[in-house]
Protein backbone atom coordinates (compact mmCIF):
# COMPACT_ATOMS: atom_id res chain seq x y z
CA UNK A 1 0.00 0.00 0.00
CA UNK A 2 1.38 3.41 -0.91
CA UNK A 3 1.79 6.19 1.62
CA UNK A 4 -1.02 8.16 -0.08
CA UNK A 5 -3.39 5.17 0.03
CA UNK A 6 -2.49 4.53 3.67
CA UNK A 7 -3.17 8.17 4.58
CA UNK A 8 -6.50 8.07 2.72
CA UNK A 9 -7.53 4.89 4.56
CA UNK A 10 -6.58 6.40 7.93
CA UNK A 11 -8.53 9.60 7.15
CA UNK A 12 -11.56 7.53 6.14
CA UNK A 13 -11.39 5.48 9.35
CA UNK A 14 -11.08 8.65 11.44
CA UNK A 15 -14.05 10.23 9.67
CA UNK A 16 -16.17 7.13 10.32
CA UNK A 17 -15.35 7.07 14.03
CA UNK A 18 -16.04 10.78 14.52
CA UNK A 19 -19.30 10.66 12.54
CA UNK A 20 -20.69 7.69 14.47
CA UNK A 21 -22.24 8.66 17.82
CA UNK A 22 -20.73 6.82 20.77
CA UNK A 23 -23.08 5.94 23.64
CA UNK A 24 -21.78 5.09 27.09
CA UNK A 25 -22.62 1.80 28.71
CA UNK A 26 -25.49 2.56 31.14
CA UNK A 27 -23.64 0.72 33.92
CA UNK A 28 -20.60 2.95 33.45
CA UNK A 29 -21.78 6.15 35.11
CA UNK A 30 -18.73 8.19 36.16
CA UNK A 31 -19.49 8.98 39.81
CA UNK A 32 -17.81 7.45 42.85
CA UNK A 33 -19.84 5.87 45.62
CA UNK A 34 -19.51 7.42 49.06
CA UNK A 35 -20.78 10.30 51.16
CA UNK A 36 -21.71 13.30 49.00
CA UNK A 37 -22.27 16.90 50.12
CA UNK A 38 -24.84 18.54 47.84
CA UNK A 39 -25.33 22.30 47.83
CA UNK A 40 -28.58 23.53 46.27
CA UNK A 41 -28.99 27.25 45.62
CA UNK A 42 -32.21 28.87 44.45
CA UNK A 43 -31.70 31.69 41.96
CA UNK A 44 -33.89 34.80 42.26
CA UNK A 45 -33.52 37.72 39.85
CA UNK A 46 -30.27 36.25 38.55
CA UNK A 47 -28.66 35.95 42.00
CA UNK A 48 -27.99 32.63 43.70
CA UNK A 49 -29.11 32.43 47.32
CA UNK A 50 -27.40 30.78 50.26
CA UNK A 51 -26.77 27.08 49.76
CA UNK A 52 -29.01 24.45 51.31
CA UNK A 53 -26.62 21.65 52.22
CA UNK A 54 -27.73 18.03 52.00
CA UNK A 55 -25.71 14.89 52.73
CA UNK A 56 -26.33 11.71 50.78
CA UNK A 57 -24.66 8.30 50.87
CA UNK A 58 -24.33 6.82 47.38
CA UNK A 59 -24.01 3.03 47.13
CA UNK A 60 -21.99 1.20 44.51
CA UNK A 61 -24.20 0.78 41.43
CA UNK A 62 -26.84 3.28 42.60
CA UNK A 63 -29.25 4.58 39.96
CA UNK A 64 -27.91 7.99 38.83
CA UNK A 65 -31.43 9.31 38.18
CA UNK A 66 -32.57 8.83 41.76
CA UNK A 67 -29.18 9.74 43.22
CA UNK A 68 -27.96 12.80 41.30
CA UNK A 69 -31.10 14.12 39.57
CA UNK A 70 -33.54 14.12 42.47
CA UNK A 71 -33.77 17.92 42.91
CA UNK A 72 -36.22 20.15 41.06
CA UNK A 73 -37.17 23.82 40.98
CA UNK A 74 -38.76 25.30 44.09
CA UNK A 75 -42.10 25.74 42.26
CA UNK A 76 -44.19 22.69 43.02
CA UNK A 77 -44.49 19.19 41.71
CA UNK A 78 -42.48 18.29 38.62
CA UNK A 79 -42.17 15.20 36.45
CA UNK A 80 -38.94 14.35 34.62
CA UNK A 81 -39.21 13.49 30.92
CA UNK A 82 -36.85 13.09 27.96
CA UNK A 83 -34.03 11.76 30.14
CA UNK A 84 -30.62 11.57 28.47
CA UNK A 85 -27.79 9.77 30.22
CA UNK A 86 -24.14 9.70 29.30
CA UNK A 87 -21.16 8.40 31.30
CA UNK A 88 -20.50 11.83 32.89
CA UNK A 89 -23.79 13.71 32.55
CA UNK A 90 -27.55 13.60 32.97
CA UNK A 91 -29.97 15.89 31.15
CA UNK A 92 -33.75 15.96 31.32
CA UNK A 93 -36.86 18.05 30.77
CA UNK A 94 -39.26 18.92 33.56
CA UNK A 95 -42.99 19.29 33.32
CA UNK A 96 -44.14 21.22 36.41
CA UNK A 97 -47.68 21.96 37.59
CA UNK A 98 -46.88 25.47 38.88
CA UNK A 99 -44.25 26.57 36.34
CA UNK A 100 -43.47 26.77 32.64
CA UNK A 101 -41.56 23.89 31.03
CA UNK A 102 -38.03 23.51 32.36
CA UNK A 103 -34.81 21.69 31.59
CA UNK A 104 -32.13 20.42 33.93
CA UNK A 105 -28.68 18.90 33.77
CA UNK A 106 -25.89 17.49 35.93
CA UNK A 107 -22.32 17.46 34.56
CA UNK A 108 -19.44 15.65 36.26
CA UNK A 109 -15.99 17.18 35.76
CA UNK A 110 -14.52 14.31 37.79
CA UNK A 111 -15.81 11.20 39.56
CA UNK A 112 -15.92 13.27 42.79
CA UNK A 113 -17.51 16.57 41.67
CA UNK A 114 -20.46 17.78 39.63
CA UNK A 115 -22.44 20.92 38.90
CA UNK A 116 -25.90 21.34 37.46
CA UNK A 117 -28.87 23.62 37.13
CA UNK A 118 -32.55 23.94 36.35
CA UNK A 119 -33.69 26.50 33.79
CA UNK A 120 -37.36 27.46 33.40
CA UNK A 121 -38.54 28.62 29.98
CA UNK A 122 -38.95 32.41 29.98
CA UNK A 123 -37.31 32.86 33.40
CA UNK A 124 -33.82 31.48 33.08
CA UNK A 125 -31.85 29.60 35.69
CA UNK A 126 -33.81 29.02 38.92
CA UNK A 127 -31.74 26.38 40.72
CA UNK A 128 -28.02 25.60 40.89
CA UNK A 129 -26.55 22.45 42.39
CA UNK A 130 -23.03 21.35 43.20
CA UNK A 131 -21.97 17.99 44.58
CA UNK A 132 -18.68 16.96 46.15
CA UNK A 133 -17.76 13.46 47.28
CA UNK A 134 -16.69 13.96 50.86
CA UNK A 135 -15.66 10.51 52.16
CA UNK A 136 -16.53 6.85 52.22
CA UNK A 137 -19.87 5.95 53.79
CA UNK A 138 -19.44 4.37 57.21
CA UNK A 139 -22.96 3.03 57.71
CA UNK A 140 -26.35 2.83 55.94
CA UNK A 141 -27.52 5.82 58.01
CA UNK A 142 -24.90 8.19 56.48
Is the residue at 14 inside a domain? no
The pTM is what?
0.73
Is the residue at 77 inside a domain? yes
Q: What is the mean pLDDT of residues 50-66?
A: 88
Q: Model confidence at 74, in pLDDT bands (50, 70, 90)?
A: low
CATH of residue 105 = 2.40.160
Is the residue at 7 inside a domain? no
The Cα 63–Cα 16 span in angstroms is: 33
Is the residue at 45 inside a domain? yes
Is the residue at 13 inside a domain? no
Residue 54 pLDDT > 80, yes or no?
yes
Q: What is the mean pLDDT of residues 40-45?
A: 92
| pLDDT, position 76 | 66
Is the residue at 10 inside a domain? no
- Domain containing residue 52: 28-135
Count of domains for the chain: 1
Q: What is the mean pLDDT of residues 112-119?
A: 94
Q: Which residue has the higher pLDDT, 18 or 97?
A: 97
The Cα 110–Cα 30 span in angstroms is: 8
Is the residue at 9 inside a domain? no
Amino acid sequence: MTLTALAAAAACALAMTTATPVHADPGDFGAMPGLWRIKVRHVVNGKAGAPEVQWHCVDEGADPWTTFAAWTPAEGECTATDQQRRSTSLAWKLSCKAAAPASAHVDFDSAKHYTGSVTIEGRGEVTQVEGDRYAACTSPED
